[in-house]
Amino acid sequence: MGLYLCVFEGDEELEDVEVGLYADFNALREYVTREIEAGKLGSRFPTLILHSDGDGEWSASECERLRDELAVIAMELKARPAVGFTSEWQRIVAKSVGLVPRNAFESFIDVDGEFLIERLRGLAEFAYRYQSPILFQ
């Protein structure tokens, strides 16, 4: 099952990120917990790590915190070595766009082959600016 995150205004979808499988999103969060939070679940990045990945949302106020957490995560992942993709679809997409990750930041991509942390941070910034939640679909 895939994870799709989006921002709506009324019935109109304004912005979105198609993450991939829920398992891929969880792989990112597990990596962050293990490598950056030293195994202490949500100790540094509670908005990203502790939020349920089921049906729900990040509120506009949570999006501000999420944006800030993702900025720190991005910086720290860029300083770590690349890791293997968690899904076959990621390997296929990366090959199709010519991506060979140089660091951990580039090792987590969305369905379009764009860097997942960067896309999530952009979505959080957008949601915060528009004071709209990010919905989990």
Look at residue 9 and tell me whether its pLDDT is greater than 90: no
pLDDT band at 52, cuts 50/70/90?
Answer: confident
Query: Cβ(47)–Cβ(67) under 8 Å?
Result: no
| Angle separating helix axes 116-130 and 60-78, nearest 10 degrees | 150
What per-residue confidence (pLDDT) applies to 55?
63
Span 83-103, pLDDT tens digits: 999 999 999 999 999 999 999
- Phi and psi dihedrals of 21, rounded to 5? -75, 150
pTM: 0.95
Q: Distances from the Cα of 87 to the Cαs of 33, 64, 70, 104, in angstroms?
A: 19, 30, 22, 15
Gap between the Cα atoms of 132 and 119, Å rounded: 17
Amino acid letter, 137: Q
